[in-house]
Structure 1
């Protein structure tokens, strides 16, 4: 082939020695399609964030976080409830296949697969499409995850005993708090009360634990009735809960009947004691006459 025949020169492929300045495109050339990140786009983001922040602050002022009584580690009947964003996992752990011997499945494996799928999403779906209808795998997994989370959250809220929880967490007034402080934890009756496991249902200060056991520091039962209940049971309390000696049962009954402070008297014996005092005064007046 002769030089120049069958060849076309389309331009110089050599890199020019002089570089042109990197001038950004004028955004006015693309109206409605693009804008500058600073300050236009970033300013919009700040405005939206400020609106949500102010709304959230107003919500916290109008509806403050509910407070409950001081946490009691001995309260085995307390009904726990996690924050709303963990309710779906809380409900999942109630099912047979995700609790008891299978707790690892509900607490580790299933959440690990769910969050692992989110991390692996860029590799699981490499398609260039942006429409959800053209990305069936990614869209299906996301829809399934959202529906499962909403369903489990709803079930957790629906099955929770809100009345019992409110009763358990109710704040104590000054009189009740003062009564709790009067419980003599050094008394022999308190030691028996703890050893017999009464503390797990009725609290370390006889304050009760809601659904598990009622309060005892303001009981209206006398010592004899307390002994009978400890042996025969009452209501949801089964019989044969006390396994100590008769002397220990008497000490425990006196402790409970007197509101946790047998030295001062009170509780269920208060009315009985007042009646005895009145009868003694009447006998004294009759003897004087």
Structure 2
């Protein structure tokens, strides 16, 4: 405290008693003495997560740029000869909805209940497993949820794709994006611009012997409801040109035993009044339906 105007007088500053000087300033705990146990979330853990996310994002961008997205023909709601497929990351849900206990009257179970349990379990995992142990075999709840979910998603995805490829083979279909890509390649080789604004129409295949006895039997059979009167197909593949794929014996086998998604039609046709001779005549007429 100063008592006069003298410049060499010692000055003593008196601090305000209302403001306390901080003798201790907290510092982040040093976890280096406990390797593998824990670490500061900010900035250590957050920086590591950010770096991993950047590497993953760069990998995804490389894949996106290296392979262009497949583009097919414009959507055609009148085209029944197509098998709708979602993107690969939804294949497991697509396959789940094919089972009888998750579709039809149980569709709520397949679209809300089961996905809710799966994703709800993942959301609740941090609250169900509160242990500090980081080794997966000592975290049974979290590890079980992870392994079961991963196994279910992998199985449903692989099975869905396998079923899709077999269905394409059974119906003799080629996906639109593959046809469009072939059109682009052909146009490039010919030195012209590809035009895929409209799906190319295939040459019409005429019905062989439309006034024969076999055609009249076909009009009375159960085949008519699925394959249409003009054999163009609808819910099922077209029968135009079926003779190029199957002979009379093969068609009879399909009628009696079914094939793929089509059940056997022999007993139903017999119950509707057709005889064995009629079915034999029908199979012979269908075997004559050839494109050339």
Q: TM-score, normalised by structure 2?
A: 0.50
Residue in 1 that maps onto 2:22: 19
CA deviation vs aligned residue, 1:42-67 (integer Å, no higher than 9, x gap): 65555444433333232223221111
Match for residue 94 of structure 2 among 84, 90, 113:
90
Cα deviation for residue 35 of structure 1 reads 7.2
Kindly indicate whether residue 204 of structure 2 is the aligned counterpart of residue 219 of structure 1: yes
Match of 1:157 in 2: 161
Larger CA deviation: 88-97 vs 75-84: 75-84
Matched residue count = 191
Within-5 A mapping of 1:174-193: none
The structure-2 alpha-carbon separation of the partners of 1:168 and 1:225, relative to structure 1 and needing over 3 Å to count, comes to farther
Q: Which runs of 5+ in 1 are unaligned?
A: 1-15, 182-204, 208-214, 244-289
For 2:64, which of 60, 66, 69 is the aligned residue?
A: 60
Distance 1:35 1:116, change over 3 A: closer
State whether residues 132 and 139 of structure 1, in contact with CA within 8 Å, keep that contact through their aligned partners in structure 2: yes
User: Secondary structure at the residue paired with 2:101?
Assistant: helix
1:1-289 aligned at under 5 Å gives the runs: 17-24=20-27, 37-38=42-43, 45-161=49-165, 166-169=174-177, 170-171=179-180, 173=183, 207=201, 215=202, 218-219=203-204, 221=206, 238-239=223-224, 241-242=228-229
In structure 2, C-alpha distance between the alignment counterparts of 1:227 and 1:153, rounded to whole Å: 48
Superposition deviation, residue 143 in structure 1: 1.5
Label 1:130 to 1:71 Cα distance change in 2 as closer, same or farther (>3 A): same
Structure 2: runs of 5 or more not aligned: 1-18, 231-292
The two structures have a TM-score, normalised by structure 1, of: 0.51
2:234 corresponds to: none
Encode CA deviations 1:57-95: one digit per residue, 9 max, x unaligned: 322232211111111122233211111111111111111
Contact persistence 2:95–2:159 (CA under 8 A): yes
Task: Provide the alpha-carbon RMSD of the alignment.
Answer: 4.4
User: Which residue in the other structure is 1:250 paired with?
Assistant: none
